[in-house]
Amino acid sequence: MALTLRSSVWSITVAALVLVAFAHSTQADPLPSWQDSDSKTRIVDFVESVTDPESDSYITARDRVAVFDNDGTLWAEKPIYFQLLFAIDRLQKMAKEDPSIASSGALKAAVEGDLEALSASGHEGLLEIITVTHSNISAEDFTEEARQWLEKKHPETGLRYRDMVYQPMLELLRYLRDEGFQTYIVSGGGLHFIRAFAEEVYNIPPNQVIGTTLKASYQMVDGEPAIMKEGQLAFLDDKEGKPVAIDTRIGIRPVIAVGNSDGDFQMLEWSTSAPGASLGILIHHTDGEREWAYDRDSAVGSLERGLDEASSRDWLLVNMEQDWEQIWPVQP
Closest separation between CB of residue 224 and a second copy, Å? 7
Q: Which is nearer to a second copy, 45 or 247 (CB)?
A: 247
- What is the secondary structure of 29-63 as a DSSP string? -S-TTB-SSHHHHHHHHHHHHHT-TTSTT---GGG
Helix 265-272 × helix 241-249 angle, to 10° = 50
Residue 75: DSSP 8-state? B
Beta carbons of 283 and 73 less than 8 angstroms apart: yes
Q: How far is the CB of 279 from a second copy (least distance, A)?
A: 17
Cβ atoms 35, 322 nearer than 8 A = yes
Exactly one of 28, 53, 56, 62 binds a second copy (CB under 8 A); which one? 62
Q: Which is nearer to a second copy, 97 or 218 (CB)?
A: 218
- Give the nearer residue to a second copy in terms of CB position, either 162 or 239: 239
Cα–Cα distance between 16 and 241 in angstroms, integer?
50
Cβ atoms within 10 Å of 61's Cβ, excluding its own: 10
Compare residues 169 and 216 and give the one whose CB is closer to a second copy.
216
- Contact status: 64 vs a second copy (CB under 8 A): no
Which residue in 331, 315, 306, 281 sits closest to 74, CA to CA? Answer: 281
Q: How far is the CB of 205 from a second copy (least distance, A)?
A: 7
Q: How far is the CB of 283 from a second copy (least distance, A)?
A: 22
Segment interacting with a second copy (CB under 8 A) among 10-18, 29-37, 67-75, 243-251:
243-251
Residue 224 β-bridge partners: 221
Calpha distance 169→286 (Å, rounded): 16
Residue 227 as a binder of a second copy (CB under 8 A): the answer is yes
Q: Which residues pair with 283 in a beta bridge?
A: 318
Q: Which of 33, 261, 266, 286 binds a second copy (CB under 8 A)?
A: 266
Of the candidates 204, 186, 203, 195, which has an alpha carbon nearest to the alpha carbon of residue 264?
A: 186
Residue 139 binds a second copy (CB under 8 A): yes
CB-nearer residue toward a second copy: 229 or 284: 229
Max CA pair span of the chain: 88
Q: Judged by CB under 8 A, which stretch of 90-98, 172-180, 233-241, 324-332 contacts a second copy? A: 233-241
Interaction between residue 317 and a second copy (CB under 8 A): no
Find residue 324's DSSP bridge partners.
34
Supply the minimum distance, in Å, between the C-beta of residue 240 and a second copy: 4
Query: Could you say whether residue 233 binds a second copy (CB under 8 A)?
Result: no
Contact (CB, 8 A) for 267 and 250:
no
Q: How far is the CB of 215 from a second copy (least distance, A)?
A: 9
- Residue 252 CB, shortest distance to a second copy, in Å, is 6
Identify the three-state secondary structure at position 131: helix
When asked if residue 240 is in the footprint of a second copy (CB under 8 A), the reply is yes
Q: How far, in Å, CA of 243 to CA of 119, rounded?
A: 26
- Residue 284 contacts a second copy per CB under 8 A: no
Among 32, 114, 273, 288, the residue binding a second copy under the rule CB under 8 A is: 273
Which residues make up the interface to a second copy (CB under 8 A)?
62, 139, 182, 191, 195, 205-207, 209, 213, 216-218, 224-225, 227, 234-235, 240-241, 243-244, 247-252, 266, 269-270, 273
